[in-house]
Structure 1
Amino acid sequence: MQASALLHLLRSRTAELISRGLAALVGGYLLAFGFTAFFSVYLPLSRANRVVTASLLCFAIWVAAALYAFGARSPSHTWLILLFSAAGLYLLAYLPTDWRLRP
């Protein structure tokens, strides 16, 4: 009896809304930080300008991720896209260790 009630709660609209909200906040933050790390390394500007430009643009990325979180087909699809995109950006940002361009 308890398992079916818990399963019903997890499939409810409230749980979906909470998951999308967390994806917008947490997943959006992770994606924005990955974007900042990536563009702090790869923008063709001086180091200070790269960091400032990437830091300012990350707010737009966070807003876009939040909009995507509430517009995607399902919360699980949202989480997958946001987390895999963030992981890819982190990986690409921390690859050039020999260039000494860590963010």
Structure 2
Amino acid sequence: MKRTAAGLPLAYRLAVASRSLAALLGGYLLASLANIALALLTPISQVDAALLGMMLSFLVYLLAFIWCFACRSAWRAWAGVLAPSALLALIDGVAYGMQTS
């Protein structure tokens, strides 16, 4: 017997939608903040630091995407992307403040 999408419970469909949003939006936020942190903190030329940060941000985005669908719950998926994002935002703010002063 096959189950169609209409036969799946609403809670399951909402959990998958929440994980998808966490992977897409939260992963993008995490990758962007990782890119900025690497560009600000790497002790090489600005152009090379920006390129290195950009290349490694694809890996961060991939890992965040995998994390969101490997978690047991959608709450853990969101927490797993937003907690490091908050930490990176704090690091970015401090690093940017050190560069401008």
Q: TM-score, normalised by structure 2?
A: 0.84
* Cα deviation digits, residues 24-45 of structure 1 (max 9, x gap): 0001001001101110111121
Q: Distance in 1 between matches of 2:99 and 2:24?
A: 33
1:92 Cα deviation from its structure 2 partner: 0.3
- Runs of 4+ in structure 1 off by over 4 angstroms are none
- Any idea what SS the aligned residue of 1:85 has? helix
Shift in Å, 1:90: 1.2
Could you tell me the percent identity over the aligned residues?
28
Aligned residue for 1:28?
Answer: 27
Alpha-carbon distance, 1:80 to partner = 1.1
Structure 1, unaligned runs of 5 or more:
1-7
Aligned to 2:18: 19
| Counterpart in the other structure of 1:40 | 39
Partner SS, residue 94 of structure 2: coil
The aligned counterpart of 2:63 is 64
2:85 aligned with 1:86, yes or no? yes
Preserved CA contact (<8 Å) 1:20 1:70: yes
Contact 2:31 2:58 in 1 (8 A): yes
Residues 37, 93 of structure 1: 8 Å contact kept: yes
Indicate conservation of the 8 Å contact 1:37/1:90, yes or no.
no
Aligned to 1:54: 53
The 8 Å contact of residues 67 and 80 in structure 2, kept in 1 or not, is answered as no
Give 1:84 shift.
Answer: 1.2
Aligned length: 92
